[in-house]
Structure 1
Amino acid sequence: MTTVGDVLRDWRARRRLSQLDLAGEADVSTRHLSFVESGRAAPSRDLLLRLAEPLAMPLREQNRLLLAAGYAPVHGERALDAPDMAAALAAVDAVLRAHAPFPALAVDRHWNLVRANDAATAMLVGIEPILLEPPVNVLRATLHPKGLAPRIANLAEWRHHLLARLRMDIDRSADPALEALHAELRSYPSPVSREPHVPVARIAVPLAIQSEAHGRVLSFLSTTTVFGTATDVTLAELTLECFYPADDDTRQALLSGSRP
């Protein structure tokens, strides 16, 4: 059975914080924190939430900490189709529609596709059908040899970029499913690194993808958006990924009405 001490020690190790460091950040004595971790003292709900803050624990992990202490979770976890989520999903849909004709999509905590605008959906046309069976994992569909990988002109650097982002997600969430996904993606054939295809690579990593519709490489920069005030676990773990043209040729190609 997982104890409060197990959870706290694990997250202190992830954040490289000693008991002294964490106690100072949470305004509690080191002695009392030691007693909490060893099981000699029963922490209050308020203390656990104070400890979770400097540890930057995701809402899901805060709930796990509370459950380990015998408390009910404080953060709800609703299904995306729950009535309470309607307003949030409407906001997501509005962002995706407004981003057209440029690609934009929304993914859950495991990088499974939740929503996509037409431009993003068009990017997936032509890949192996099994990769498009729900739930569609965006990272798998991108890096799989039968996915988008053969069309990505700068596959080596884009692969490195995505694996680094996934590693950061793992460090933030401690999610074993993401660890398994990372191991799977790393097992795919590793391409030979080539020079960046667009100058903007000096300030950001672009996605340079071969477009069959245009007969040329289209280059994109990506940004991520999250709900900064979410108190629901599912909503807090939702990420919007928006792609912007990295050069004028790409911008004009998409503004012309053609798909990526």
Structure 2
Amino acid sequence: MKEIIVTGACGGFGKAIVKRLLFEGYDVWAVARDIEQLDQCFAGIDCNGLHKYACNLSEESELITMVKTIVSQTGTISGLVHCAGLNRFIPLHLIKQKQMEEMFKIHVYAAITLCSLLSKKGNASAGCSVVLFSSVAAHEGSGGNAVYASAKAAVEGFVRSSAQDFVDRKIRINALVPGDVDSGMFHKFMARLTPEQIEERKKKYPLGFGSSENIADLVEFLISEKSSWITGQCYVIDGGHLVMRS
């Protein structure tokens, strides 16, 4: 059985990804900060392949313990989907180092630490696939978004370099670069906009806003053997948004 870790499992992306991978027959370790939240999120799913694990991804020691625990129970890890994240819109003149650290710990430090752990002998199976998350924010200017955009740009740089470190172990790593997708984080952002601003934003997405299922489709492809010849890539999935802006 292939064992896949999905962080941020209770978010819009994470929940859709967990469900899709379970449907495809994977054993999935759904990871979030709170076990009660996980119980509520997946209350309607009765599946032997679903394993729930509570972990504070900002703490290196908890990441190490999580990987050790999963490996001890499964043998090796076959895939990692790190889609946990947070975003806060902060004007440049109000940015504090604590806010930067909070953002980078989740998006960048946790991703690098998990990948480092997977690179250690005995933790990952040959053919293991890692999927990280960037954002179109790393490719376009947006006021108040400098810290988030910087963290996502760091993810893309890491993917390209770590692919070379991973290749001798037959581990692949790729990233998704989503645009506006109907999810919890998206709803919080949209709540800050006027109806007129929302309509203007819609016009910038020729194929409309995305869905979490669109994201899960691409993640499942990258986790599966169907993408066995792909590594070090960052896939834009944005309904034509960046193309239309160019």
- TM-score range relative to shorter protein: under 0.3
The structure number with the bigger radius of gyration is: 1
Structure having greater relative contact order (Cα 8 Å, sep ≥ 6) = 2
| TM-score normalised by structure 2 residue count | 0.27
| TM-score normalised by structure 1 residue count | 0.26
Greater strand fraction, Structure 1 or Structure 2: 2
